[in-house]
Structure 1
């Protein structure tokens, strides 16, 4: 199976020769990732204008326009995450040493992910707390801590088990865009297909696979807790439980909205 071992960006760390930890090797990639996602945000008005034209430029609400821009950055992040995690499933350490193993490409993936969640936490969830609220603040904090813990190292080869959750996110973002556009702009069939893919991918990736991945990870960890920092496993367990509760909550809302939409359709025809 195709996999990637190395990190071509390590050479750009000016202090690579004196790096003694995984975090010291990859810190520059975290910074670069956070900056990159903010640059994407700054470019998003141009992208949205090209894609949505007057449906975007005519928006008078600054918050709604900003939300369009933030969803562009989130969409890019989800696609990047999917691309990075796929080759990690084939790495030997995914099976042979999932708790203590470490390799450069996994460190790079963790850095790109942590950089995004640092940007997401401070720019979206703190600076614009009024737009996103407590659930998204918890999600950003928890995700940053979970992926940040992999620098110890801790379960670094298992990063793809949780990053694959992002396979549902492109459909989430497309749904968000579709529901903010005027009625009739998006074809009903396109809207329905995206909705089905959203619900199916969210259920399979975040609920079914997510619960299995959590069970597998903590089954591995509980056998070696004496070799890990005190309190690490309980902390990650609590955060993971909270993230799973959020995913179940969001999935329930999706199914409820879908049920209301499709159950209302026949009534309009009568």
Structure 2
């Protein structure tokens, strides 16, 4: 129905990815949190413990998908690089298969352990878009958008530092600078350029794809960038509040980083 003709050979990758991240969530993350942060994790309610666990899963996903996406971008064939709309390679298929499995897990968790509608929207949109790249369509852009996860790596560290009594510390400030910088570059500047280039591609080939694809990809990419802008604003506000209590120390570190 979706016309994702290339997905067949990569279904095992998708299933293995979903099972892998589910295993990290249900088995590895609880064990790791109990071992590394017994007081901060074990004393919390189940809903709070789940927040710890999904950050661990997210961190594992960051390491895996950033490495895979970077490898795919750096080694892609010249033919695929020239066709930004319909280019495809098996390497891309495996990378996007991992992403689909992860976003399937992410969507299920966001619905079952509902906290915020933005998380559900993000999961559903990402799952649908990456599944639909198996047509193939826009795989060139999909792989590059996975590099947005570089900022998530620092976001998870920032969250853990918050929960372990290191709010406002030098370590959190340094990590916060890396978080803001990576979010600004990879999601807003680089991500914005990728989205703009994709929009131009979409206007060129929209007659060659089903209307459903035009609607999903067109609205999806703007939704994700809108969420990026919203979250970036919230991060700036939150960090300013956290470090207001230590203005001299924070200013010194900011000047040093500059």
- Mark yes or no: TM-score above 0.5: yes
Shift in Å, 1:196: 0.6
What is the rounded CA distance, in whole Å, between the counterparts of 1:231 and 1:44 in structure 2? 38
Q: Is residue 234 from structure 1 mapped to residue 220 from structure 2 by the alignment?
A: no
**Runs (5+) with no aligned partner, structure 1:** 1-19
Q: Is residue 72 from structure 1 mapped to residue 56 from structure 2 by the alignment?
A: yes
Match of 1:45 among 30, 35, 39: 30
What is the rounded CA distance, in whole Å, between the counterparts of 1:41 and 1:218 in structure 2? 35
User: Over residues 161-193 of structure 1, what are the superposed CA-to-partner deviations in whole Å (9 max), with x where a residue is unaligned?
Assistant: 20000010111111111111135xx79221111
Shift in Å, 1:233: 2.0
* Residue equivalent to 1:10: none
Residue pairs, 1:87-166, within 5 angstroms: 87-90=71-74, 91=76, 92-93=78-79, 95-122=81-108, 124-129=109-114, 132-166=115-149
Partner of 1:22, secondary structure, is coil
* Residue equivalent to 1:206: 187
* Residue equivalent to 1:22: 6
Q: Decide whether the 8 Å contact of 2:80 with 2:89 is kept in 1.
A: no
Q: Decide whether the 8 Å contact of 1:93 with 1:157 is kept in 2.
A: no
Q: How many residues align?
A: 243
Shift in Å, 1:93: 4.3
Shift in Å, 1:78: 1.2
Match of 1:176 among 156, 159, 184: 159
Partner of 1:235, secondary structure, is helix
Q: Decide whether the 8 Å contact of 2:7 with 2:134 is kept in 1.
A: yes
Q: Is residue 248 from structure 1 mapped to residue 229 from structure 2 by the alignment?
A: yes
Q: Decide whether the 8 Å contact of 2:129 with 2:216 is kept in 1.
A: no
Q: Is residue 217 from structure 1 mapped to residue 209 from structure 2 by the alignment?
A: no
Q: Taking structure 2 as the reference length, what is the TM-score of the superposition?
A: 0.88
Q: CA RMSD in A?
A: 2.0
Q: Decide whether the 8 Å contact of 1:100 with 1:155 is kept in 2.
A: yes
Shift in Å, 1:254: 0.7
User: Over residues 93-143 of structure 1, what are the superposed CA-to-partner deviations in whole Å (9 max), with x where a residue is unaligned?
Assistant: 453112111111101111110001111111x111111xx221000000111
Partner of 2:211, secondary structure, is coil
Q: Taking structure 1 as the reference length, what is the TM-score of the superposition?
A: 0.84
Residue pairs, 1:178-193, within 5 angstroms: 178-183=161-166, 188-193=169-174
What is the rounded CA distance, in whole Å, between the counterparts of 2:31 and 2:191 in structure 1? 35
Shift in Å, 1:242: 1.0
Shift in Å, 1:204: 0.7
Partner of 2:246, secondary structure, is helix
What is the rounded CA distance, in whole Å, between the counterparts of 2:152 and 2:80 in structure 1? 24
Shift in Å, 1:256: 0.8
